[in-house]
Amino acid sequence: MTGPRLRPPPPGFVDLAAAIPGLRLDVGYHRASNFTGAPLPGYGAPGAWLQGHVAEDLAAIQRELAPRGLGLLCFDAYRPRRATHAMIHWAERTGQLRLVHEGYISPRSRHNVGATTDLSLVELETGRALDMGTAWDTFTAESHTANATGRAQENRALLHGLMVAHGWQPYSKEWWHFRYLAADGPPRDVPYGADEPDEGAWRAPAGWRPLEL
């Protein structure tokens, strides 16, 4: 039995798994084991894309980590606009709109343009994730970059130092979240799954409000 088919990235984007040797993926939005409790639309196949020059910079960071025996673990990169819509609908349906107002979920995400990524660090040889103090997408004060001690603090500082040195802007409330400053573009809705509705063809289910709040 074959798995879901990943479509090729749109022009101007690259597939991180193919472009960055040694980078590992853990695409939580493809599975039900994410904060919404269900796979998100647009993630019908587990992929991670970024704009081409953004991916090149990320590859340089991966090469810089390699002599330490470390590499990057990517949870999310480009995010289809429909997935952002699903996040906002989940927050409204479950009474969690505070996560929007507190800045953990954004209706206007830079993920949608392929200029932002969610990352951690792993041991290259074993694939074991380094201790960062919390899991990815833990929407509490413990995930604020400054709120860590011991080894988790050291690991966060290592990741953040490298990313900032390469032109990425961290987000103080999410230790994993980085935006590449020298990139922009329109939000896109190209899905990862080859069998999902194409950009422009997807429609929100009945009862979902327009994405803009």
149-193 pLDDT per residue, tens: 999 999 999 999 999 999 999 999 999 999 999 999 999 999 999
In this prediction, residue 213 has a pLDDT band, given cuts at 50, 70 and 90, of: very low
Q: What is the mean pLDDT of residues 3-20?
A: 96
Q: Which domains, ranges and CATH numbers included, belong to the chain?
A: 13-180 (3.30.1380.10)
Digit-coded pLDDT (tens) for 194-205: 999 999 999 999
In this prediction, residue 1 has a pLDDT band, given cuts at 50, 70 and 90, of: low
Low-confidence winner among 27-31, 56-60, 181-185, 208-212 (lowest mean pLDDT): 208-212
> What's the whole-model pTM score?
0.96
Contact 145, 138 (CB under 8 A): no
